[in-house]
Chain A
Amino acid sequence: MNTPSGHPRDLVVTGAGTLLWCGEDLASLRRALAGDPGDLPREEVAPGEVRGVGRIGRLRAHPFSRRYERFGQIDTFSRYAFVAAGHALDAAGLVPGSPEATASAVVLGTAFGCMEANQLFDQFTADPLVGLRGASPLHFKGTLHNAPAGWCAVGWQLRGPNATFVSGPSAGMEAIALGCRMVREGRAPRALVGGVERLLALQLLMLEGGDGLPGPSEGAAILVVEDADRARERGAPALLRVLGTARGTARGGVGPLLDLLDAAGLSPSDLERVLPGPPVDGTPVGGSEAVATLALPRHVEVARPEARIGDPLAAWGASAVASLLAEAEGPVRVGPTAVHQAGAAGEHHWMLVRGP
């Protein structure tokens, strides 16, 4: 079943923040898209086993850390989202603690969640005597899949609705869709939406890439999606318009996109650009194959930013939108652009945006 959700309220993107292996601002993303620094670094994930992976690391002593250190230890997975959210708020001109910022929703998605903290804490679980002596409550609070969204709410004082999807690589696109719906329905004036991933050696060993497929990368990408009227009232420039989000399986996965285009009064020939998501295990049709069935006119550009930034799993959708902003260095001057992500359950998730 197709599930289009056109947006009666005009929605706009007013900010984006990224923390990817190539850096933590849109300028670094722009450079990565242009080929600098190039291929994903190689990492020995097990003796003799080398993988290309976009790794960030533990992110110690970050300038934003003053925002959360007063609350105690914060896990690396959450730090990624926290930093990306800080940049997104800054880009959107939202001051933490201000009434405008405080009412914001936070909706994030993650494929693997807090597994690093789980693996760490599980060492204490194996032996109860060690566990009770050695396990730390500070570590345990990192064993929550909703820790990144929770830390964003606590550290940046974002006290609107808050949710975390753990549905797999498409969780980030689901987060974008729910955040858009919350704003559209007036449940929040704006929402920070996107995805976050932190990868373990275990996951890298299991995620076998094929020829031509991007290697996995970790990080976070977060957009500020806002009611266009509210953005205008506070003088925040619209960087992109959100025409809608949709999900479904119809017509090989492109049915939801066709419905979205139709709801926006557009046809496939109006599309200027498509950003198909990386393939996902268990999905019969990958993003490129789905897009191919559209029989798009020749002028449509199919961009593949993941070739440069890696496959950030649930952070893909917001990363793809951020790549548009990074290229434009300001308001995006593109026509209708479709962002895609395949889901592990066989669904296809779409977001349709265009320049303001």
Chain B
Amino acid sequence: MTRRGVVVTGMGLIAATGCGVEAAREALRTGRSGVAPMEDFDPSLWPMNEGAVARDFRSDPASPEDRSVQMLLAAAAEAVGDLPAWLEAEPREREGLGISLGTSQGAVLQAASLHRRFLHPEGLPTPEDRARFAAYRPGYGAERLAREVGARGPVTTFGMVCVSSAMALVEGARWIRDGLCDRVLAGGFEAFSPFVFTGFQVIGALTRSRCRPFDRERDGTVLGEAAGLLLLESEGAARRRGAPVFARVLGGGQNADGVHMTAPDRDGRGLEAAVRAAFDDAGVAPGDVGYVNAHGTGTPFNDSMECVVFSRLFEGRRVPPVSSVKGIFGHTLGAAGAVDAIVTTLALGGDPLPPTVNHQEADPGLDFDFVPDPGRRHGPLRIALSSNAAMGGNNTALLLAEPG
């Protein structure tokens, strides 16, 4: 089977930083965080009452679509750019567009309302209930997006919590590389919900102060919401329509911890295996990597685990700059991998390295460069690693390269 080059030719993002990639780019340059007190939550009831909500995105309450799906469609419109118009003129190319998405909870707000109404069913569903149920399955968003953009290639959804969209990117790129289709709209979406907010509160994963990845005083993460999409194309498909190339996708990997359902393996063996699989897949060596966009949730265990892994991976050489954008975007769960891939792509295009806001001092003995300073310029950046880890013991790694 022919192995084809895969490039990123479009990006779309709805997040706490605003609507659009440009808003995120500006937030990354200045270190402006999208985390703010939650307007809909009574602060007296919650030990932690902040979140990175996409406040600039006004979802339509009259729409039959869940807020998460509305965000998804908006991000997709930005990511595809003029592709739909081009496909209109090139009908033979329509067959080759696929959709590969990830989400942790999908249409979580609509699902919650149905779950409450039918906890103890007392009668038959109304037409309104049935309309909401149509969007109930976590795979609905990808099907809806496929209809929206006229995708006729493969359509799939991964449900792997915090690595969902990273997995969607890894596999979407494989589809193109292996010749299964020419283009894939890949990424993830996640809406902020009281459901997940409560869950993260009770498992003690949220910060009581600020999300400060890799800081010795870190005490938890902060939740966010986002829809992030990347348009992946084969090099040939991108050339055919004269699309701009923002980055190249070199390869990816994934692996399980198989140790605990909600806590990472302290030794990080699963993440290390995922990253090494990505190196093998891409045919690059650790020394080729100039920047690492880490998962960096700001929880004590996750960040320690990642540092253990990076120390081993780059053993004998200086660890490249490592940063996390959770302090800016919040932890967007099913969209996190896509957000990370977008900010990494921006850095590969010459933007400043994504900063780790709120980071002040690393754990004793760690001399990593966690990029605490926003706006830092850097020299030529050829290859970057984006890694993610999730509850359920899933780990992913994605290797991206400069446009070339």
Measured CB to CB, the residues of A under 8 A from B are 1, 3, 5, 45-47, 49, 71, 102, 106, 110-113, 115, 118-119, 121-126, 128-129, 131-132, 135-137, 140-141, 143-147, 149-151, 153-154, 157-168, 171, 174, 178, 187, 200-202, 205-206, 247-249, 282, 343-345, 347
Contact = CB atoms under 8 A, between A and B. Distances in A.
B114 interface: yes
B157 A166 contact: yes
A58 B194 CA distance: 27
B142 A163 contact: no
B156 interface: yes
Interface string B51-67: 00000000000000000
A127 B156 CA distance: 34
B261 A159 contact: no
B112 A122 contact: yes
Interface stretch (B132-140, B230-238, B315-323, B359-367): B132-140
A8 B106 CA distance: 36
A118 B130 CA distance: 19
Contact of A3 (B161, B180, B194, B258): B180
Interface of B: 1, 41-42, 45-47, 95-96, 99, 103-106, 111-112, 114-116, 118-119, 121-125, 129-130, 133, 136-139, 142-143, 146, 152-161, 167, 171, 175, 178, 180-181, 194-195, 198-199, 201-204, 253-262, 269-270, 273, 277, 390-394
Contacts of A201: 118, 121
Contact of B394 (A112, A162, A206): A162
Contacts of A123: 116, 119
A70 to B, nearest CB: 11
B202 A135 contact: yes
Contacts of B198: 121, 124-125, 128, 131-132, 135
A179 to B, nearest CB: 12
B259 A154 contact: yes
Central interface residue in A165, A167, A343, by most chain B CB within 10 Å = A167
B105 to A, nearest CB: 8
Given A125-B112, A143-B199, A150-B261, A46 B122 contact: yes
B195 A1 contact: no
6 contacts: A128-B46, A140-B199, A140-B202, A158-B258, A206-B129, A343-B155
B155 A146 contact: no
A165 B171 CA distance: 11
A249 to B, nearest CB: 6
Nearest to A129: B45
Given A125-B198, A132-B46, A118 B139 contact: no
Contacts of B202: 131-132, 135-137, 140
B89 to A, nearest CB: 19
Contacts of B156: 165, 167, 174
A145 B201 contact: no
